[in-house]
Every structure is written in structure tokens, then in C-alpha cells.
Copies of this chain bind each other. A is one copy, B any other.
Amino acid sequence: MPKISEEKKSARRTQILDAAWTCFQRGGIQGTTMDDIIRQSGLSAGAVYSYFKNKDDLIVSAVTTSMTGLAEVLAPLLAAEKLLPPAQLLEAITKAISGFTARDGFDLKRIAILGWGEAQRNAQVSTALRSSYAVFREHLTQAARTWKQRGEIDSSADPADVAKTMLAAALGFVAQAAILGEVEPAMLKRGLTALRASATAKSSAT
């Protein structure tokens, strides 16, 4: 038997990471034991440990993989060309998150929450999330500049502020959906639009 092929190896890693997320969703990250993951993956303890150095390594990989997957889904939405206006973009982003979510029975929203918590005690996870979100925020800042150019937001606006507000809305959607529920992308679009539209009355009144 020759060495296992790279593909097989990658498939095994995915299999283990999938098992890990299934368990994490069930019982939280720290609440999941290696044995839970081992049993869920259908592999042996030794096998799992040949793919991941230890539990923390597995956790970091799982979180990083999720972030990477999400980034891929969001990237096209942030491309300058077909950039949507703020409320529509917010809807598109939250839809993408919910959609990614639906895949494989995983709920990315709950997963994200777990990752945020884990980042509080695991420096590597913290760094992974940090850089992902930093990139995302940077893209949003760029988007804000575009909106400004297009006159879709106030000409005196600081793109960084707008980006932070948009990011807050997106992350807040995740938190709200995971904890309270009863929030849908369309609601945020309408909510943000209402807030924006109101400005008309306000500003025209002023």
C-alpha cells in the first residue's frame, strides 16, 4: 500500500472537520470531547490525531475553514463592479450567511457565535477571526467609498464609519438570529431602508 493520496488526505480532513462542527453545534466547542468527534467521524482516535496535532489544532482548523468558506461566499458581493446599495448589500450579505448556513446542515450563525467565544481564550482562533473580519471590514470600507462616489451616502461621510456600521449590522444579524431568532435578511433591508428613508423627511424638514 503506497502512501495515501493527497486527495484522500484532504477528504479525511474534511470528514473530521465536518464531524467536529456537528459536535460543536450540539454541545459547544469546549463541551465537545475528542471522543465525541472521533465517534462522529467514524475514524479511530489514532487516525484523527494523525490529521490534527491536538484538540486546539482541530479547533483552529475548524474555525479557520469556516471563515475561509464564508469569505469566498461574500467576496463576489463586495466586488466594486456590481456593488449593491447599502440596504440591499446588507440583505445580500445576511442572505449569503444564512445560505452558507443551510449547507450540510450546519448553521453558520451558531458556529460563528461559538467561534467568537472561543476567540476569547484561544489566541490562534482570535487571530484567525480578527484577520478575516479585518479583511471584510476593509472591503466594506472600499464599498463605502464607492457608495460615496455614487452619491448613495452622505458626501461628508467617513467610509470607515460606514463600514463599521455595516459590519455591526451584519454581525448583529448573526447574533440576533442565533440567540433570539425571528430575523430575516429582508427585515434588515427594510429596517435600514426605513431608517434611511426617514432621513428624507428629517432632512427635508431641517
Using A130-B180, A169-B169 as known contacts, say yes or no to A191 and B164 having CB atoms under 8 A apart: yes
User: Does residue A27 face the partner (Cβ distance < 8 Å to B)?
Assistant: yes
Q: How far is the CA of A32 from the CA of B168 in the complex (A)?
A: 29
Quick one: CB contact mask for A156-181 with B, threshold 8 Å, 1 for yes? 11101111111111111111101110
Q: Which residues on the B side are within 8 Å of A183 (C-beta)?
A: 164, 168
Is A190's CB under 8 angstroms from B116's CB? Answer: no
Structural contact, A120 and B154, CB atoms closer than 8 A: no
Task: Please determine whether B169 and A168 come into contact, CB atoms closer than 8 angstroms.
Answer: yes
CB atoms of A158 and B190 under 8 A apart: yes
Q: How many copies of this kind of chain does the complex include?
A: 4
In the bound complex, do residue B199 and residue A200 qualify as a contact, i.e. CB atoms below 8 Å apart? yes
A65 interface residue, CB < 8 Å from B?
Answer: no
Assuming the A-B contacts A30-B31, A117-B117, A180-B130, are A200 and B191 also in contact, with contact meaning beta carbons closer than 8 angstroms in the complex? Answer: no
Contact A201 B158 (CB under 8 A): no
Which residues of A69-110 are within 8 A (CB) of B?
A: 85-86, 110
**B173 near A161: Cβ-Cβ < 8 Å:** no
Residues of B within 8 A of A168 (CB): 168-170, 172-173, 175-176, 183, 188, 191
Q: Which residues of A contact B (CB under 8 A)?
A: 25-31, 85-86, 110, 113-114, 116-122, 126, 129-130, 133-134, 137, 147, 151-158, 160-176, 178-180, 182-183, 187-188, 190-205
